[in-house]
Structure 1
Amino acid sequence: MMQRRSVLQALVATAVASQMSPLALASEPRRLPWRNWSGSQQCLPMARKAPASMAELQELLTTTTGTIRAVGAGHSFTPLVPTDGTLVSLSRMGGVSNVDSNTLQANIGGGTRLGDIGQPLHDAGQALVNMPDIDEQTLAGSLATATHGTGAGFGCMSTQVTGLELVTAAGDILWCDAQTNPEIFQAAKVSLGSLGMITQVRMQNQAPYRLRREMIWMPLEEMLEVVDGMANKHRNFEFFYVPFSGWGFTDSHDITDEPIAAAEAPVDPNEGTMELKMIRDWLDWTPAVRELVLSTYARTIPDEVKIGHSWSNYANERNVRFNEMEYHLPRENGLKALREVVDALERDHHEVFFPLEIRYVKGDDIWLSPFYQQESMSIAVHRYFEEDYKPYFATIEPILRKYGGRPHWGKLNSLGQKEFRELYPRWDDFAEVRRELDPQGRFLNEYLSGLFG
């Protein structure tokens, strides 16, 4: 019996070896899967690279075949990154350099995480003018998608850029600003990563400053009566609405000379989100009781004040994963749209528990910026990452589109080339610059080919 088993094992081993030569096994690359933060986008690239120098990046671009996509922190929900070609991270080409104390400008590596910029800039006597409420993203990724903070007087992060270094598919290094390669500069400030690799960014900063952050809870109708005035009054302002509660809260930031101080009884946003989920799970079947519980609880939450360095006050730690859709509407249409969104949400989607987030953004002249020639109110909706977001987003998106909204490039939406060309007056200008820089479409994955191919 043992002899027959040994013979059988030898036959199996011989058969396997005949199908897989040692040379083939040695040459087969190890493929590492990639997925974004929420898990909504995934791919199995042929290679994943992280060059440590310009020379390494140029060699990679000129010797690699197939599609090349830059990857940042994976905080975009749209399919900008997935490819079966090569994923390139610039995380080893980050950092702050060339600080100018006279102009308050500095160079920042494109692969630098936003959360790694504040302290080095502060030590150099500078601070970013504004920041989003998540600081895990890379700088280049934030610019590519027109990532924004909030504040009626501030544009998206791309408006703070005074120049940038772009490496093309041919390995050419282009410096772009208002005087040098001005058309490429206008295209590259919001490019979806479709022009090349942004390795250095010249940012217009300001002197370090502290912010007084104040969060105030109030009933929804009372809040909607005052938010526009508060947006005009405060340096940075946004507000939230908790579904099925009738309550929300405002979040404002203003420059102060007060000493740094933590909030006395801060509400942990991650714990709060999971508490909302728990209440949804228990009371989904009775919206009236759910609202009674949530509104009663909201009345007990004290106002919250925190004073800190600018970069520490802007960002929140988001540990509860979600998928997100966000549209930027003409500001004059924002509150009308928001009321319809709340009505549709509370009528048709009792499963939703994530708060609505509403921000204000100043208009700009960047070709693919969603804020192009538009003072905006941004409305964002979220769904827990383990739950199907499609029905909810399909209900809300037509409302946001009806009021003239443009979707955030990094947030989920259903639009294609036809709709985007209608929304962006300079769409064809961007597409022409893109073709000239990348005629072979090396930086186009399947999604981007559908937009520009």
Structure 2
Amino acid sequence: MHPESQPTFETVLPRRQFIARGAAATLGGLMLDAGLLDLAQAASPASTTGATGGLQWHNWSGAQQAHPTALPTPATEAELQALMTSAQGEVRAFGSGHSFTALVPTSGSIVSLDRMSGVIAVDRTAMTATIHAGTRLGVLSRALDAQGLALRNLPDVDVQTIAGAISTGTHGTGIALPALHDDIVGMRIVTPGGKVVELHEDKDREQMAAARVSLGSLGVISQVTMRVLPAYNLHRKVWLRPIEDLLKQAPQLAQQHRNFEMYYLPFTGYGAAISHDIYAGNDLMLPKPSDDAVMADLRTLRDWLGRFPQLRQWAAQKFIDPNMTDEARHRAYRLLSSVRPMKFNESEWHVPREQGIACLRQIIGAIEKHNEAFFPIEFRFIKGDDAWLSPFHGRDSCSIAVHASADEPYDYLIKDCAPIYRANKGRPHWGKLHEMGFAELSAMYPRWNDFQTVRKQFDPQGRMLNAHLRKLFVKA
């Protein structure tokens, strides 16, 4: 190979995206030429008629399946009321189906909120927006931007509905930024039986503390009112460093930047750091386009060298340029969230901030006992809040997420990582894979019993509970 044809490792790393352009590994004369890694995007789950004529539903990754008796799609709150009045048996709602836990499956009714979408009203004095519950975060961000407004923060996947996102405690990253539900100041919930309950934080403080993160157990949310900000631009910077350097620097970097997160690339010894800060300039620049084929390339590298982890790390490091950086400047929603076509399953827990780095070290060790692993490990910072079932209730936290391809086994993400998370006082993400039940969860949340009291007031017959929620909420 001539020197000028030697592959190089160039890197553009938007959120959960890693460019390994030209990163090559030689095995028996074979070369891996990688492009841009994109960890995957949620699309709508399927709701179809099966071969036998019955209805079928599955979540985005395909891990959760259901055969409901009905899949209604109300377009208005009045239609939702009528549905909740007439529905028989269990009722569960779904937004984008991006939860990996069994929050939705039931043999009763599964309600789609897709037709209940859009911004209803904006109050510029209070700086709030009232929003239909089925509005996808990406759609919401663009609608708000058209009015010169924005959400305070966003997660890295923006296809979730606003109702689904807040109900599961969905969050972005930022040491001073709480999860999305903390900006909810009011909501309307249609309970089993069709009653509409309107809540506002000024007069319903206790009920709002329960409703902000409810796993859909109080009823079906029809609309929310949340705080908004004037639209703003961010400056994103992405860089690669040895993981040991990033582990030492992460707490300080989180203090220095509005949004900071990092990812560890298993079996490479390297991590990717991503920062976002407010940008007032006019020279805007979007990220370079992604190339999703790299995930297949990284899997191929795993397949070739998975039995030889040291050789695998050598091959990755040979082409990594630790001085490579990438920058982008644009509207916040264009940078904080991105597209993810490749499917995966995920387990994510939230540990007290002071234990975050130590826990991450242990998780890296656990994941690298499995040569089949190749998805990056995600590490973020979240400010605490006071919602009763928020994983961040009463404490600032760090989140650590592990992934496996949707077509590969993922049990080790739970079996090997959950004991580490629990030892570090972790709380599982409600929408990510875990095996916790009533006994363990009730000990994790100081206001657990208060939430159960409110839940029973909204749904005394437990019609919003499926098998998964009964495992969480009903004492055996």
TM-score (normalizing by structure 1) = 0.91
Matching residue of 1:4 = none
Aligned pairs for 1:423-438 within 5 A: 423-438=444-459
Matching residue of 1:319 = 341
What amino acid is aligned across from residue 449 of structure 1 in structure 2?
Answer: R
What amino acid is aligned across from residue 447 of structure 2 in structure 1?
Answer: R
1:359 to 369, 375, 380: 380
Moved more, 109-118 or 335-344: 335-344
Higher relative contact order (CA 8 A, sep 6+): 2
Query: How much has 1:330 moved relative to structure 2?
Result: 0.4
In structure 2, how many angstroms separate the alpha carbons of the residues matched to 1:186 and 1:338? 30
1:72 to 56, 73, 95: 95
Query: What SS does the corresponding residue of 1:49 show, helix, strand or coil?
Result: coil
What amino acid is aligned across from residue 107 of structure 2 in structure 1?
Answer: D
1:110 equivalent in alignment to 2:161 = no
CA gap of 1:283–1:301, structure 2 versus 1, over 3 A, is: farther
Matching residue of 2:393 = 372
What amino acid is aligned across from residue 98 of structure 1 in structure 2?
Answer: A
Q: Could you tell me whether the CA contact under 8 Å between 1:266 and 1:304 is conserved in 2?
A: no
What amino acid is aligned across from residue 327 of structure 2 in structure 1?
Answer: V
In structure 2, how many angstroms separate the alpha carbons of the residues matched to 1:300 and 1:154? 29
Query: How much has 1:97 moved relative to structure 2?
Result: 1.9
Q: Could you tell me whether the CA contact under 8 Å between 1:31 and 1:47 is conserved in 2?
A: no
1:282 equivalent in alignment to 2:304 = yes
1:418 equivalent in alignment to 2:439 = yes
In structure 2, how many angstroms separate the alpha carbons of the residues matched to 1:53 and 1:334? 43
Aligned length: 422
Q: Could you tell me whether the CA contact under 8 Å between 2:347 and 2:413 is conserved in 1?
A: no
Query: How much has 1:66 moved relative to structure 2?
Result: 0.5
Instruction: Give the share of equivalent positions with the same residue, in percent.
Output: 43
1:291 to 305, 309, 313: 313
2:294 to 272, 288, 299: 272
Q: Could you tell me whether the CA contact under 8 Å between 1:53 and 1:93 is conserved in 2?
A: yes
Aligned pairs for 1:76-115 within 5 A: 76-115=99-138
In structure 1, how many angstroms separate the alpha carbons of the residues matched to 2:390 and 2:206? 15
CA RMSD for the aligned pairs?
Answer: 1.4
In structure 2, how many angstroms separate the alpha carbons of the residues matched to 1:86 and 1:393? 29
Query: How much has 1:267 moved relative to structure 2?
Result: 5.7
In structure 2, how many angstroms separate the alpha carbons of the residues matched to 1:334 and 1:395? 17
Matching residue of 2:370 = 349
What amino acid is aligned across from residue 440 of structure 1 in structure 2?
Answer: Q
2:82 to 34, 59, 65: 59
What amino acid is aligned across from residue 377 of structure 1 in structure 2?
Answer: C
Matching residue of 1:128 = 151
1:157 to 180, 194, 197: 180
What amino acid is aligned across from residue 417 of structure 2 in structure 1?
Answer: I
Matching residue of 1:388 = 409
Query: How much has 1:229 moved relative to structure 2?
Result: 0.6
Tell me which protein shows more helix as a share of its residues.
Answer: 1
Q: Could you tell me whether the CA contact under 8 Å between 1:51 and 1:57 is conserved in 2?
A: yes
Matching residue of 1:17 = none
In structure 2, how many angstroms separate the alpha carbons of the residues matched to 1:180 and 1:266? 47
Matching residue of 1:11 = none
In structure 2, how many angstroms separate the alpha carbons of the residues matched to 1:79 and 1:131? 24
* Structure 1 unpaired stretches of 5+: 1-28
TM-score (normalizing by structure 2) = 0.86
In structure 2, how many angstroms separate the alpha carbons of the residues matched to 1:301 and 1:88? 50
Query: What SS does the corresponding residue of 1:280 show, helix, strand or coil?
Result: helix
Q: Could you tell me whether the CA contact under 8 Å between 1:215 and 1:252 is conserved in 2?
A: yes
1:451 equivalent in alignment to 2:472 = yes
